[in-house]
Amino acid sequence: MPVVSRCFQVEAEPQQVLDYLKDFSNATEWDPGTQSCTQEGSGPVGVGTTWHNVSKIAGFTTELTYELVEVTPDRVVLVGRNKGATSTDTITVQPSGTGSEVTYHADLEMHGVSKLATPAMKVIFEKLGDEVQENLTRVLTRR
C-alpha cells in the first residue's frame, strides 16, 4: 500500500488551517492531481459531508467520492473511494510559534486488478506528496 507523509510549517493559525482543509472542495487549490472537487448536497461542512472528486494522476483520470469522516480540534480525516482504490488522508495540525505545524499523511489501498499498479503508485505518490507540501504551504501562507 503506497503511503506518503509530510510534516511542514505554515504561517496560518491552526483553526484557520483546519477550517480550510475540512472543506475538501479546496483540494483544487492544493492537490496537484485534483481537477475538480464538488460538494455533494448542500449545507455546512461536517462529518458525513461528501465530495465528487475528479483527479488526473500519471495521465489517468479517476473519480472518487470523498467523505469527511473525522474532525477534531487538531485533525481532519477524509476518505476517498471508488472501485479501484481507497485513499485516506489524515491531516494533523498543531500550534507552532505564530503559525502551525501540519502533518499530511495519505494511505492508498488499491483494490482488485488495480493492485497491480501498487509499485508504480508508490513512486507517483512520493512525487505528489512533495507537490502537496509545496502547494499547501503556499496556499495556507496566503490565508
pLDDT at 122 over 70: no
pLDDT at 8 over 80: yes
**Confidence class for position 126, pLDDT limits 50, 70, 90:** low
The predicted structure's pLDDT at residue 93: 97
Amino acid letter, residue 107: D
Instruction: Give me the chain's average pLDDT, please.
Output: 88
* Dihedral angle over CA of 106, 69, 43, 81, nearest 10: 60
Q: How do residues 63-77 score in pLDDT, each as one tens digit?
A: 999 999 999 999 999
In angstroms, the CA 129 to CA 124 distance is: 9
The predicted structure's pLDDT at residue 58: 74
Query: b or e along 111-140 (b: 16 or more beta carbons within 10 Å of the residue's beta carbon)?
Result: eeebeebeeebeebbeebbeebbeebbebb
Q: How many domains does the chain have?
A: 1
Kindly state the helix (H) or strand (E) to which residue 127 belongs, with its residue range: helix 118-142
Are 20 and 143 a contacting pair, CB within 8 Å? yes
Q: How do residues 31-62 score in pLDDT, each as one tens digit?
A: 999 999 999 999 999 999 999 999 997 788 99
Structural domain containing residue 93: 3-142
State the CATH number of the domain containing residue 21.
3.30.530.20
Q: Tell me the helices (H) and strands (E) count for the chain, helix number first.
A: 3, 7
pLDDT at 97 over 80: yes
